[in-house]
Amino acid sequence: MLVILICVFFTKLFSQQKGEFKNMALIKGGEYLPLYSSDSQKVFVKEFYMDIYPATNTDYAAFIKNYSEWSKNKIKRLFADSMYLSHWTSDTTFNKNVAKSPVVNVSWFAAKKYCECQGKRLPTNAEWELVARSNQTQADASKSKEFNQWVLNWVTKHSPAVLPNVGSTFKNYYGVYDMHGLVWEWTYDFNNALTTGESRGNSSLDNSFFCGGGSFGSKDLNNYASFMRFAMRASVKAKYSVQNLGFRCVKMKK
């Protein structure tokens, strides 16, 4: 009888944990070297879970219905500029052809709140970049000329009027989609090219800048995509809402 009860307990526990991390991929820890950093300034990233896809318009609409203060007509201008959800037709509706597209025109404050309400958070730059440097078969494809060129080809293109659905790009080594090729993404901390540790614990940082990027970090001066990401991050503030800037969430492994 005792054995049965123990089995039932662990079965329930496993089911709860599995549901808690539904549609998330486990990311093994590793080292990340920020742009403009020496080898001695590598950042160690602990194991965590990341959303397989960026948040969609449908996902965000469900969030708005529960937290109406973050709707386009109620949000305080302190937390978002006038472009916030400008592609939506009302507080909770949008053109059906973007239902499964990544939500954009969302400020850092709003993206952060969304993740918190899911029991998650925005990824740090180091976490995001660690995942973004992988291609379909390699955890670290930062030395792959083919992969670098593919990323560069994307970041130099104009975003389409209607964004493709999430999952439109390749599934990377970790099982995560759309790190490149769909939208740029917010991260918790600002420009990782100038940080050397977990920025959330560094009170000296200028927390008016928080944008993530469309490429992966590198010291390689030939990696133009990294510098384009650097420029993108340096050009925005937390209240900005940009038409090709979305987000996804992460959660620490227990």
Q: Which of 91-95, 121-125, 171-175, 202-206 has the lowest mean pLDDT?
A: 202-206
Burial of 160 (0-12, 13-18, 19+ CB in 10 A): exposed
Mapping DSSP to helix (H, G, I), strand (E, B) and coil, where does residue 166 land?
coil
Task: Please tell me which residue, 211 or 111, carries the higher pLDDT value.
Answer: 111
Give the CATH number, domain containing residue 177: 3.90.1580.10
The answer to whether residue 77 sits within a structural domain is: yes
pLDDT at 17: 52
Q: Taking 50 as the threshold, does the pLDDT of residue 160 lie above it?
A: yes
- Across 215-242, average pLDDT: 70
DSSP 193-222: GG--S-GGG-TTS-TT-----SS---S-TT
The answer to whether residue 13 sits within a structural domain is: no
Task: Please tell me which residue, 211 or 185, carries the higher pLDDT value.
Answer: 185
Type of residue at 22: K
> Alpha carbon of 25 to those of 42, 46, 218, 230, 234: distances in Å?
24, 14, 23, 26, 29
Instruction: Using pLDDT thresholds of 50, 70 and 90, give the confidence band for residue 6.
Output: very low
For the chain, the 3-state helix, strand and coil shares in percent, each to the nearest 5, are 35, 10, 55
Task: Return the percentage of the chain with pLDDT > 90, whole number.
Answer: 57
The answer to whether residue 9 sits within a structural domain is: no
Q: Taking 50 as the threshold, does the pLDDT of residue 209 lie above it?
A: no
The answer to whether residue 8 sits within a structural domain is: no
- Across 7-16, average pLDDT: 44
The answer to whether residue 6 sits within a structural domain is: no
The answer to whether residue 17 sits within a structural domain is: no
Task: Return the percentage of the chain with pLDDT > 70, whole number.
Answer: 76
pLDDT in tens, 185-207: 999 985 544 443 443 434 344 44
Question: What domain range is 112 assigned to?
Answer: 26-252
Q: Domain total for the chain?
A: 1
The answer to whether residue 74 sits within a structural domain is: yes
Neighbours of 174 (CB within 10 A): 17
Helix (H) or strand (E) holding 74, with range, is none
The answer to whether residue 155 sits within a structural domain is: yes
pLDDT at 232: 76
Q: Taking 60 as the threshold, does the pLDDT of residue 131 lie above it?
A: yes
